[in-house]
A = this chain, B = another copy of it.
Amino acid sequence: MSKDDARNRILDAAGPVFAAKGYRAATVREICEKAGMNVASVNYYFGDKENLYVETIKRVRPPRIEEKLQGAWSTETSPADKLRDFIHAMVRALCGAEMFPWLPELLKREIANPTPACEGLLQEPFFANFDLLQSILVEILPPDTPPHKRHQIAFTVIGQCVHFRVSRKIAAMLIGSDEFEAHYGPDEVATHISRVCLAALGLAPPIVEPGRKRDQV
Contacts and interface: CB of A to CB of B under 8 A. Distances in A.
B183 A152 contact: yes
A205 interface: yes
B205 A202 contact: yes
Please give me the 6 A-B residue pairs with the lowest Cβ-Cβ distance, nearest first. A202-B206, A159-B163, A142-B212, A199-B200, A200-B200, A148-B183
11 contacts: A24-B24, A109-B112, A111-B166, A126-B170, A147-B179, A148-B175, A153-B207, A155-B163, A197-B200, A199-B200, A202-B207
Given A22-B22, A153-B196, 20 more contacts: A24-B25, A109-B112, A112-B112, A126-B170, A126-B174, A149-B192, A151-B175, A152-B183, A155-B160, A155-B164, A156-B192, A159-B163, A159-B167, A160-B160, A163-B163, A196-B200, A199-B206, A200-B207, A202-B207, A202-B208
Interface of A: 22, 24-25, 108-109, 111-114, 119, 123, 126-127, 130, 141-145, 147-149, 151-153, 155-156, 158-160, 162-164, 166-167, 169-171, 173-175, 179, 182-183, 189, 192-193, 195-197, 199-202, 205-209, 212-214, 216
A160 B159 CA distance: 6
A88 to B, nearest CB: 15
Nearest to A173: B123
Contacts of A208: 141-142, 145, 201-202
Contacts of A195: 200
A162 B167 contact: yes
Contacts of A153: 196, 207
A156 B141 CA distance: 21
Question: Chain A contact residues: over half helix, strand or loop, or mixed?
Answer: helix
Contacts of A214: 142-143
Contacts of A206: 199-202
A174 B130 contact: yes
A78 to B, nearest CB: 11
A166 B110 CA distance: 11
